[in-house]
Every structure is written in structure tokens, then in C-alpha cells.
Structure 1
């Protein structure tokens, strides 16, 4: 069946995410109320991309942009490519900091491509969209909360990624501490050993199970539930500032972890009064996003085009 494209533009709002959450390596994720807004429409030829906010001046403005690459992959799944595309990005999620900026771009691209095909939802349902986004990203732990919102458990079967979203207890109060330095997921993964001691794996399995209970029912257990021996210790030497912040917060009784691959730190309860990470850090209180990615019809509005309207000022 030939692919028919929708005439008008569509827009999507995608949340920041924090993955791993300590012991939940490559499995657990949390959606946070800081958003990128992206709009796209089909044109007669070529590709144009505009970017304001985070990443402006650094991100490509052509087919190399991750949103466009994700759209192209989705259009292939949907049966055909449009002649041209116009994409507008208003970014508030810090780039390469462990807050899911790449997953947000991928999810935005997949959902926009689906919206721009008249029967896109029938051709690519939500489960298929998750599988595609996870294939593009390489793992599902960030794309799952970006798509679904809330606290997610993601896993991969032979058919692809799957995920469920669970409600978060009222006592969970996320705060992110974002350094000026950037990090790269590939470099962070390269620091991990090919094997780990059996005892460390067993400890993490127990703490990851406890973390699900703590995040959904018993926030008072978050400190012991966020103990990790699979990844954070191996990466500490590459981001000593982050390791020091996490250690200081945990010593003060705050359940703190490295957000994703870092270098952002995530605290799951209020910071101690007067706590200061240093002048090279931004501290943002970000409630849990419970809705996930939201698609609408039309161009971005005035507020959506404001790079600080859905987040904290840089």
C-alpha cells in the first residue's frame, strides 16, 4: 500500500530521562519534567532543520541531525520517504549530560514520522515505536520513560524491546545536578569490564528489585535501594567531580546516583539545606513526568519556541 503523507505540521513534546538509577543498569528509567519541543512537516524537497536552545550551533542542520535520522528510520518502517522535510527543534534537555537528550531526539523523530503518515498509528503502533526507538538508541532504558512517562522497567526479548510504566510514590523528589562538562555514553561504556564478580551481580539484582519497591511504595528505602556495584565505580575515574558529588550526598543520607552514563548526578530526595556542588554545576528540581511524549497537530506556539519556557534557565 503506498504511503500517504499528512498535509499539516505536527509537533511533539518529549521529556528528559534518567536511566540506570543506580543498580538498574540498562533496565530502569525515570521521566523528568524538562522538555524538548520539536515540530516537523513534509515539504516538496530537501531537508531544513533549525535548532534553538541546548545544542544550537553544534548540532547538524541536515540529514545528520538525530531527529531526522530517526524520522528516516521510521519512514522506512512506514513504507516510504517523503520528498522533503522541515524540522524545528527547541531544546532544553542538556546535551551529552546523562539526561536522555539522544533518546528524546529519537522518540521525537519516530513519533513525528508516524504522525506525518495518514495511517501511521496503524502501521507503527506504540509497541513497534518502542522497539524501533530502542534499536536506534541501542538500549531501551531511556527511550522507554521518554515514550511512556513515569518510572519504567525495560527489557529486550528476541522480538525487541518491551517496557512497562509504574506510578511513582509521592515522596520521590528528583533533583539533578548538571555539570558544565560533557560526557559520552560510548566512552562511559568502554570503561566497563566484560565480566563482574558474582557477588556484585547478586547484590545489584537484590537492590534493583528493592528499588522498584522503594520508588513505587517505600521512598524511605531509597538510600539502600540505590547501591550499585555494576557500573558507577568503574566510571568514577572518568568523572571524578560527579563521583565526589554522589558520595557527598549519600554520606548526608540522600539517595544519589549517576544519571545515565553521567556526568549529571541525580538525587531522589531533597538536597541537604545549604548543599553546594560548586560553581560549575546547575541544580534543577525536576518533578517526575507522568505523561511521556505528547504529540499534537500544528506548529510550535510562542511558549514552545521559548528555550526556557519548559525548563530552567541555563
Structure 2
């Protein structure tokens, strides 16, 4: 007689969901059916999910959510990392047991996520092989912030001889942007709060406090001038860069639009940028500070911390 299966497959799993759009108070951990991989898809047992400002911005109200194609009931979070535990027919690039990371728009904070083998973050979800030497928590921070930073660098094209002003340098995108600009040979001046100074220095930036008087403080640090700028928070750094004589063609934003300035979006990252960033992390040439990590049951507290925009690094959810 066959032995009974002592570990039957799970039929339900946890997922963070909204029943109504809103702030962190609207988030709930729910029991949902375990999703199944269809043709051309893989299922990932998620180990960690990284948070980004876009996560809570997209789901803040019904009108904004609709612009991103989201409807209720809705999941939460986009960046994930874990292990492939099921593959659908026709999948060739992945196998059960592979470690992967990637993005699945507004559904990553869950025990399982199903993504297309050849999809995108916004359509079907995506997966990349996690290099040896990159742990799951770190891998779960790469997709959105890494691509966005790479896209911003592609706009301003920093290099040796450049002095780059980066606004919001200690945030989730900033930690990548600072290091990538330094690797390109540029000098980096990064804005932040007074408490972020040491964290910015550790990344390779020269810290300067944001707020009134920013232009004068930057001039004091860089009397020879600033040649390029990224505003990773709003528009204050972009406007300061203009006053410092930086041409619009060498200024970019990610969180706001300014007439005459080219915005950067992760979808515009150069081909292969994410794999390159993962490789730099694997070999210790790029560091990703994890500011805080929370169990999924504390998702509301995690989002409140991340949404306050004063975190020096990334916030990660453990599943």
C-alpha cells in the first residue's frame, strides 16, 4: 500500500490585498487559492518582496489605480525574489528549483506569484535568474529601483569630469544612482537630511542638506560648477540645477514632470541593465543597503515607514 503523502500541496496561501484603495490602513493579509502556472509561465515561491514608492502611489485611490490597469480586489507590491516551484508547458529558460527575481505589478507581496517566462513587469510579470552571491532580500530590491536608476543615468550620461547633483540620494533609487554614477567616473553630490550624511558618504556621495539655500550650499561644495543632475524626489533639485547653470538636456526627474526636462522611467533602462546591476551586486561592486525588513504580517507598518520617504535604503518584506 502506498505511503500517505505527509506534505500535500498547499491549496491556500497568503497575499497582501486591498478590498478598497487607500493608504496602509487598507492593506490586509488574506488567504487566497494558490495560483497555478499556465503555458509559458512559472510559479515562484516568494521569499522576499521589496517596497517602492510606486507601490503605494498606484493604489492610493481608484482613479490612480485605473491609470495602471488595477482594479479590486488588488494585490500589492511589485519587486520579488524567490524560487521557481512550478513551470508551465513550453517553458525553456527556467526549471523548478531555480532562484529568480523580478517584478509583477501590484501582486508581489504574496507567498506565490505567477509570471510569464517572456513577460514584462506591467504585462504578465517577469523573472531573471538570481546570480550566486546575491541573497533573496537583496535580489528583491533590484527590479524597479535598479532599472529606474539605470534609466536616469542613460538620460544624463555621466562620466569622468562630471559633477552630478542627485536629489533624494539616500532613497531606494538613489542608492543605485549614486553608485552607478560614481562607477561611471563622476563626482556625486547627494541631497538628503542631516541624518543621512554618513549613509551618503558610505555610498560615495558628498552629502548636502536639501531645502532653502541648497543652491548656495552646492556652489560652496562645487565652485567649478555642476554639470548634470537627477531629481529622484520631486522638482526642487531640478530647479536648483537650472539655477546652477545645468542645461535641461542633462537634468532628469523620476517622480515629477518639468517642462523641458526629460523624465526617466524604468521601462527606458538600457537593455541588459538589470542583469549588469545584479552582477555588480554579486561581485561586491555595488552595495544595496537594507534599511528595514518586516514579516508580511506587519505590512502596514512597513508601508508607513517606506511612504514617509526618510528611509536610507530599501524596505523588504519577508514571506
- TM value normalised by structure 1: 0.30
- TM value normalised by structure 2: 0.30
**Larger relative contact order, structure 1 or 2 (CA cutoff 8 Å, min sep 6):** 1
